[in-house]
Amino acid sequence: MSDSPISVLLRAIDALDLDGATSLFTPTAEVATVYGRSGKGADQVRAVFAELMEELREAHHEVTAEWNPAPGVWLAELSAVYDLKDFSRRGPYERIVVLHMGDTGIEQVRMYGSHEQPLQDDHGGYQEVRGPHGWLPTL
């Protein structure tokens, strides 16, 4: 991986380093995951990442393409694989990440994926996403 802000964030996530991941964000940052989980501000951003990491034994993100089309704007295509605490594996999931970098850290991250719930499956939103084989990671 490169040293882009996206790659640095993904390395922290893959290391299950909650402090390392959240320290990259500004105090007013925003994050939105593939399944609609979002947070604004340091506490909520931390909660989004903590929720993801509490279910994981390991995470593996592989950036397949990356762009920096404007100052402070980063885009990446990646593949994500998650090993859960119950020893099951989820993925690979194809993801797109859009990141906006500020002077003091990450201001916004939005993640998009190819495994969203169907629109007709509105069972309480995207807070707890379970598929036919268990929990689906939302990052």
Q: Which tens digits make up the pLDDT trace of 55-86?
A: 899 999 999 999 999 999 999 999 999 999 99
* Whether pLDDT at 49 is above 70: yes
Residue 23, classed as helix, strand or coil, is: coil
Asked whether the beta carbons of 62 and 79 are under 8 A apart, the reply is yes
Q: Would you tell me how many other CB atoms lie within 10 Å of the CB of residue 66?
A: 16
Q: Which class in CATH covers the domain with range 5-135?
A: alpha beta
> Could you identify the residue written with the tokens 């802000």?
5
Q: pTM of this prediction?
A: 0.82
pLDDT band at 2 (very low <50, low <70, confident <90, very high): confident
Distance between the two ends of the chain, CA-based, in angstroms? 18
Task: Return the DSSP state at 38.
Answer: E
Residue 69, classed as helix, strand or coil, is: strand
